[in-house]
């Protein structure tokens, strides 16, 4: 049976219905009603997404590509709303809807005491709808719609607690930095229309080989290769959305939002939209190895240098945020070596284990009464065993211990980079290899600081016998002082953890063969034969188990062991050593703690600079030049002329008589001069 339009429409619109109901009728529906309708909506989408994946994989269904309605038709140019659903889309649908569903359930527990409960559910359902529109799109216009719509929801959710100055700073920053990316993205779309004459994916991809040899006239004697211009512009969009250096600055700040959305939007799904987009555009990117080298270098830089910052963070969520940046860098590196399916594969495994880590961190944050500083944690494992174990599962997947999902996706990327001959591949290989060590360092450090070692918090029972609500006054606490002992979170929180831990552990083992080496994405992803590092890698692939066993002997795993040994020694046996290392390497630590000063420079240059420039324009040009000199100036001129004229009309007869006599003398004198001059000839 094929895929029907109604099924796909239901997938997209069910969360939107939930969003509208919870958003506008939240008061009538109540809390349970609101989370009921939104969860129902996403559950329907999730079930149908699995069905679609099943149909495309086992059911023998053909790819779906149809327009639903015409958005505009101007001459030959058409923009439509429509769906393209192939295996790439189906995989994204399953990942998005599955993580979204779990996050919806988790939110019941996490936001239980929040006044914005129904609003939150409305937002995350709106997000799910937007993300579906993005991944299911069959054209560039709708892609841009989904792209910006997820940005909007991200803006609303980062600023969810809108009373906090830091939150509303972070959401503005996130939106603007993303807009810088979208600026490039939109120009990329315009370039696609210019060179390929269409906004439709299928038509554009079919025409893509024709890009070869075409160029864009930049100045009278400069030309840029068409495919390179298109791909770099599109990728600038991906750099914004997927937080690649130098547009990465918004993602750590986005942690101001509630933790469920950090998991859903800022780890598992939205930030991977850029990766998905490049994979989707593989027929275009394959046309420009210059653009792919650019992608490769950006990704490699992101993978290593943002991971390093993660080592010095004390906020549990920020560690994971920097880890997300670094892992997005890995995916981008995979794209850069034409290993699109590897990028999408890592996107999938990462979605599971990173959502798990964020939700686990959220569970810790609940237990710690909204304390996020790991310096006041420690020894939590005995209070919250489910969170502890599941987070270890996620961590092992993150550091890519063989047999975990993360191993299959990440190790394949590292190996593929090693095989690639693309310009920049050597640098990238160094970055992703060193990144393996860095990942181990910040991950184990985080686990030890949170769950192991001595408890660094005190439990002080509040005085009096009345019920004390720990949530009302969080923020006013003395750090590290809790009103109750930490306890394991309720089942709505731990169930999603378990359900995410399972795929984090297993999905890689079962899917690595087909997705990476079995041409599972055929049709959806196009790789030029000369660039196909995966095919080369495939010669050495003899099953998932053999790959994992082989992995135990390889350098990335050895680096993880080093990281494990170092962190274990420092954080379990010699905690004072961490501070000593910090003092010994003070300059390095400062560089990382200040995040390479990138934020400071951006703020001074772009935020302050723009305001200064605007003020300069306002004072010099608007007020002084245009209004002052030109507009009011001409008024004043008229005034002055009129005033002079008025003075002439004094009303005194002798003034007029004098003027007449003077005029007569001048007139006659003039005649005489002219006359005598003529007579002289």
Partner 1 sequence: MFNHLLSLLIWLPVVGAIPVLLAGSARPNLARWLSLLVAVLTFVASLFLLVQYNPAGAVMQLVESHLWIASWGVHYGLAVDGISVALIVMTTFVGVLVIAGAWEVIQDKPHQYMAAMLVLEGLLIGVFCATDALLFYALFEAILIPMFILIGIWGGPRRVYATLKFFIYTFFGSVFMLIALLYLYQKAHTFDLATLAALPLTFKEQAWIFFAFLIAFAIKVPMVPVHTWLPDAHVEAPTGGSVVLAAVMLKVGTYGMLRFILPIVPDAGAHFAWLVIVLSLIAIVYIGYVALVQEDMKKLVAYSSVAHMGFVTLGIFIAFMLVREQGRTDTAMLGMQGAMVQMISHGFVSGAMFTCIGVMYDRMHTRLIKDYGGVINAMPWFGFFYVLFAMANCGLPGTSGFVGEFMVILASFTANPWVALFAAFTLIIGAGYTLWLVKRVLWGAITNPHVAEMKEINGRETFVLAAFAAAVLALGVWPQPLVHLMDSSVSQLVQQLAIHKI
Under rule CB under 8 A, residue 183 binds partner 1: yes
Write the CB contacts of 661 (distance below 8 Å, at least 6 apart in sequence). Answer: none
Least Cβ distance, residue 136 to partner 1 (angstroms): 15
Under rule CB under 8 A, residue 658 binds partner 1: no
Residue with Cβ nearer partner 1 (421 or 471): 471
Least Cβ distance, residue 25 to partner 1 (angstroms): 13
Residue with Cβ nearer partner 1 (206 or 638): 638
Least Cβ distance, residue 26 to partner 1 (angstroms): 11
243 with 104: CB under 8 angstroms? no
Residues 476-510: b if buried by 16+ CB within 10 A, e if exposed: ebeebebeeebebbeebbbbbbebbbebbbebbbe
Strands 215-219 and 222-225: antiparallel
Least Cβ distance, residue 62 to partner 1 (angstroms): 28
Under rule CB under 8 A, residue 165 binds partner 1: yes
Under rule CB under 8 A, residue 385 binds partner 1: no
Binds partner 1 (CB under 8 A): choice among 54, 77, 491, 656: 77
Q: Collapsing DSSP states into helix, strand and coil, what is residue 77?
A: strand
Residue with Cβ nearer partner 1 (613 or 665): 613
Binds partner 1 (CB under 8 A): choice among 41, 99, 154, 182: 182
Q: Collapsing DSSP states into helix, strand and coil, what is residue 356?
A: helix
Contact flags string 265-304 toward partner 1, x per CB under 8 A:
----------------------------------------
| Contacts of partner 1 in 590-649 (CB under 8 A) | 610-611, 613-615, 617-618, 621-622, 626-627, 630-631
Number of residues that bind partner 1 (CB under 8 A): 53
Least Cβ distance, residue 74 to partner 1 (angstroms): 5
Q: How far lies 467's CA from each of 367, 368, 461, 470, 478, in Å? A: 17, 18, 11, 9, 20
With CB under 8 A as the contact rule, which of the stretches 183-191, 204-212, 460-468, 531-539 interacts with partner 1? 183-191
The H or E element spanning position 640 is helix 632-648
Under rule CB under 8 A, residue 20 binds partner 1: no
The H or E element spanning position 216 is strand 215-219
The separation between the first and the last C-alpha atoms of the chain, rounded to the nearest angstrom, is 111
Least Cβ distance, residue 227 to partner 1 (angstroms): 15
Distance CA 347, CA 351 (A): 6
Under rule CB under 8 A, residue 69 binds partner 1: yes
Q: How far lies 546's CA from each of 403, 542, 552, 553, in Å? A: 10, 6, 10, 12
With CB under 8 A as the contact rule, which of the stretches 86-94, 189-197, 487-495, 580-588 interacts with partner 1? 189-197
Residue with Cβ nearer partner 1 (194 or 491): 194
Binds partner 1 (CB under 8 A): choice among 141, 239, 247, 359: 141
Least Cβ distance, residue 180 to partner 1 (angstroms): 6
Least Cβ distance, residue 257 to partner 1 (angstroms): 13
Under rule CB under 8 A, residue 175 binds partner 1: yes
Under rule CB under 8 A, residue 31 binds partner 1: no
HSE-CB for 77 with a 13 A CA cutoff: 12
The H or E element spanning position 69 is strand 64-74
Least Cβ distance, residue 224 to partner 1 (angstroms): 9
The H or E element spanning position 73 is strand 64-74
| Contacts of partner 1 in 191-220 (CB under 8 A) | 191, 193-194, 216, 218
Least Cβ distance, residue 629 to partner 1 (angstroms): 11
Binds partner 1 (CB under 8 A): choice among 25, 152, 215, 592: 152
In the block, residue with structure tokens 């005033």:
643
Binds partner 1 (CB under 8 A): choice among 54, 72, 510, 672: 72
Residue with Cβ nearer partner 1 (590 or 632): 632
Distance CA 539, CA 180 (A): 42
Least Cβ distance, residue 671 to partner 1 (angstroms): 37
Distance CA 16, CA 126 (A): 6
Binds partner 1 (CB under 8 A): choice among 36, 40, 179, 575: 179
With CB under 8 A as the contact rule, which of the stretches 167-175, 252-260, 373-381, 471-479 interacts with partner 1? 167-175
Binds partner 1 (CB under 8 A): choice among 7, 13, 112, 168: 168
Least Cβ distance, residue 645 to partner 1 (angstroms): 19
Residue with Cβ nearer partner 1 (197 or 385): 197
The H or E element spanning position 172 is helix 165-196
Distance CA 554, CA 230 (A): 38
Binds partner 1 (CB under 8 A): choice among 19, 53, 156, 270: 156
Least Cβ distance, residue 605 to partner 1 (angstroms): 14
Least Cβ distance, residue 43 to partner 1 (angstroms): 25
Burial of 451 (0-12, 13-18, 19+ CB in 10 A): buried
HSE-CB for 390 with a 13 A CA cutoff: 30
Distance CA 288, CA 273 (A): 21
Binds partner 1 (CB under 8 A): choice among 1, 74, 530, 576: 74
Binds partner 1 (CB under 8 A): choice among 189, 279, 298, 560: 189
Q: How far lies 86's CA from each of 5, 92, 137, 512, in Å? A: 14, 10, 11, 19
With CB under 8 A as the contact rule, which of the stretches 31-39, 75-83, 340-348, 521-529 interacts with partner 1? 75-83
Residue with Cβ nearer partner 1 (99 or 186): 186
DSSP readout, 463-522? SSSS---TTTTTTSSPTTEESS---PPPHHHHHHHHHHHHHHHHHHHHHHIIIIIS-TTT
Least Cβ distance, residue 351 to partner 1 (angstroms): 25
303 with 326: CB under 8 angstroms? yes
| Contacts of partner 1 in 217-236 (CB under 8 A) | 218
Residue with Cβ nearer partner 1 (229 or 533): 229
Under rule CB under 8 A, residue 162 binds partner 1: yes
Distance CA 41, CA 15 (A): 5
Angle CA 31–35–37, to nearest 5: 120
On the question of a cis peptide bond just before residue 246, with omega within 30 degrees of 0, the verdict is: yes
Write the CB contacts of 30 (distance below 8 Å, at least 6 apart in sequence). Answer: none
Residue with Cβ nearer partner 1 (469 or 627): 627
Distance CA 674, CA 483 (A): 108
Q: Where along the sequence are the contacts to partner 1 (CB under 8 A)?
A: 69-77, 141, 144-145, 147-149, 152, 155-156, 159, 162-163, 165, 168-169, 172, 175-176, 179-180, 182-183, 186-187, 189-191, 193-194, 216, 218, 610-611, 613-615, 617-618, 621-622, 626-627, 630-631
């Amino acid at each position: 049976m094929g895929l029907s339009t109604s099924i796909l429409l239901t997938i997209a619109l069910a969360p939107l219905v939930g969003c509208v109901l919870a958003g506008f009728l939240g008061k009538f529906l109540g809390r349970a009603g609101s989370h009921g309708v939104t969860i129902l909506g996403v559950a329907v989408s999730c079930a149908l997404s699995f069905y679609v994946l099943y149909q495309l994989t086992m059911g023998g269904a053909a790819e779906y590509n149809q327009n639903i309605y015409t958005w505009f038709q101007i001459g030959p140019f058409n923009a439509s709303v429509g769906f393209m659903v192939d295996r790439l889309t189906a995989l994204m649908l399953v990942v998005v809807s599955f993580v979204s569903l779990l996050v919806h359930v988790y939110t019941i527990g996490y936001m239980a005491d929040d006044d914005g409960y129904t609003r939150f559910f409305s937002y995350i359902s709106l997000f799910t709808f937007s993300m579906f529109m993005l991944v299911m799109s069959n054209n560039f216009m709708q892609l841009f719609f989904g792209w910006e719509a997820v940005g909007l929801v991200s803006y609303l959710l980062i600023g969810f607690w809108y009373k906090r100055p830091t939150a509303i700073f972070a959401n503005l920053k996130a939106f603007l930095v993303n807009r810088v990316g979208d600026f490039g993205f939109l120009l990329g779309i315009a370039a696609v229309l210019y060179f390929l004459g269409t906004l439709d994916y299928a038509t554009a991809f079919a025409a893509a080989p024709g890009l070869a040899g075409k160029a864009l006239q930049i100045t009278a004697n400069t030309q840029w290769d068409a495919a390179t211009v298109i791909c770099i512009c599109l990728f600038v969009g991906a750099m914004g959305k997927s937080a690649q250096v130098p547009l990465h600055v918004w993602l750590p700040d986005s942690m101001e939002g509630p933790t469920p959305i950090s998991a859903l939007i800022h780890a598992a799904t939205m930030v991977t939209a850029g990766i998905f987009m490049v994979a989707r555009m593989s027929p275009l990117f394959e046309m420009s190895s210059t653009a792919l080298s650019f992608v490769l270098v950006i990704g490699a830089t992101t993978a290593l240098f943002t991971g390093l910052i993660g080592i010095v963070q004390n906020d549990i969520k920020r560690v994971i945020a920097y880890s997300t940046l670094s892992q997005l860098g890995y995916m981008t590196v995979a794209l850069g070596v034409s290993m699109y399916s590897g990028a999408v594969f890592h996107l999938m495994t990462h979605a599971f284990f990173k959502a798990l880590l964020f939700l686990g961190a959220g569970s810790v944050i609940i237990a710690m009464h909204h304390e996020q500083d790991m310096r006041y944690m420690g020894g939590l494992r005995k209070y919250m065993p489910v969170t502890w174990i599941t987070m270890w599962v996620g961590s092992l997947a993150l550091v890519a211990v063989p047999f975990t999902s993360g191993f299959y996706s990440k190790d394949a990327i590292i190996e593929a980079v090693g095989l690639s001959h693309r310009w920049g591949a050597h640098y990238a290989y160094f970055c992703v290899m060193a990144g393996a060590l860095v990942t181990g360092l910040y991950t184990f450090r985080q686990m030890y600081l949170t769950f192991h070692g001595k408890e660094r918090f005190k439990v002080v029972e509040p005085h009096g016998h009345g019920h004390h609500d720990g949530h009302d006054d969080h923020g006013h606490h003395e750090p590290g002082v809790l009103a109750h002992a930490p306890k394991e979170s309720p089942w709505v929180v731990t169930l999603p953890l378990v359900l995410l831990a399972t795929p984090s552990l297993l999905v890689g083992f079962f899917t690595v063969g087909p997705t990476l080496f079995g041409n599972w994405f055929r049709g959806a992803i196009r790789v030029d034969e000369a660039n196909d590092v995966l095919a080369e890698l495939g010669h050495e692939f003899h099953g998932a188990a053999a790959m994992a066993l082989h992995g135990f002997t390889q350098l990335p795993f050895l680096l993880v062991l080093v990281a494990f040994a170092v962190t274990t020694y420092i954080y379990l046996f010699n905690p004072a050593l961490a501070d000593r290392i910090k003092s010994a390497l003070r300059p390095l630590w400062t560089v990382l703690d200040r995040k390479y000063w990138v934020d400071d420079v951006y703020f001074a240059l772009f935020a302050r600079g723009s305001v200064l420039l605007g003020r300069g324009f306002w004072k010099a040009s608007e007020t002084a030049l245009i209004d002052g000199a030109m507009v009011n100036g001409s008024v004043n001129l008229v005034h002055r002329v009129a005033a002079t004229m008025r003075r002439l009309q004094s009303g005194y007869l002798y003034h007029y008589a004098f003027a007449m006599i003077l005029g007569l003398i001048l007139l006659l004198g003039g005649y005489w001069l002219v006359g005598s001059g003529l007579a002289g000839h």
